[in-house]
Amino acid sequence: MTELRIEGLTKAYGPDATVLDGLDLTVPGGSLAAVLGPSGCGKTTLLRVIAGFLRADAGTVTVGDRLLAGPGTHVPPERRRIGIVPQEGALFPHLSVARNVAFGVTDRSARRRRTEEMLELVGLAGYGDRMPHELSGGQQQRVALARALAPEPALVLLDEPFNALDSALRAGVRADVRAALRTIGATAVLVTHDQQEALSTADLVAVVRDGRIAQCGPPHEVYARPADPWVARFVGDAVLLSAHAANGAGPADRGAGGAPTATTGLGTVELRAPAAAPEGTVILRPEQLLLTEPGEGVCGATVTDVRYYGHDAMITVVVDGVDGPVDVRVAGHATLRPGDRAGVRVTGRAGFHPSGGSGA
Ligand X SMILES: Nc1ncnc2c1ncn2[C@@H]1O[C@H](COP(=O)(O)OP(=O)(O)OP(=O)(O)O)[C@@H](O)[C@H]1O
What are the b/e assignments for 324-349, b being 16+ CB within 10 Å? eebbbbbeeebebeeebebbbebeeb
- Please state the closest distance from residue 17 (CB atom) to ligand X, in A: 6
- In whole angstroms, give the CA distance from residue 317 to residue 339: 9
C-beta of residue 39 within 8 angstroms of C-beta of residue 193: yes
Residue 41 binding ligand X, by CB under 6 A: yes
Nearer to ligand X, 156 or 245 (CB): 156
| Amino acid letter for position 3 | E
- In whole angstroms, give the CA distance from residue 197 to residue 217: 15
Residue 49 binding ligand X, by CB under 6 A: no
Q: In what order do the strands lie in the sheet with 312-319?
A: 289-292, 341-346, 299-308, 312-319, 326-331
- Residues in region 186-215 near ligand X by CB under 6 A: 193
Residue 45 binding ligand X, by CB under 6 A: yes
- Please state the closest distance from residue 160 (CB atom) to ligand X, in A: 7
Nearer to ligand X, 42 or 132 (CB): 42
- Residues in region 11-30 near ligand X by CB under 6 A: 13, 17, 19
| Residues ≥6 apart with Cβ < 8 Å to 116 | 125, 128
What is the three-class DSSP state of 99?
helix
- Please state the closest distance from residue 219 (CB atom) to ligand X, in A: 19
Among 36, 42, 68, 181, binds ligand X (CB under 6 A): 42
Among 34, 37, 63, 187, binds ligand X (CB under 6 A): 37
- Residues in region 240-299 near ligand X by CB under 6 A: none
- Please state the closest distance from residue 324 (CB atom) to ligand X, in A: 28
Question: Rule CB under 6 A: which residues touch ligand X?
Answer: 13, 17, 19, 37, 39-45, 193
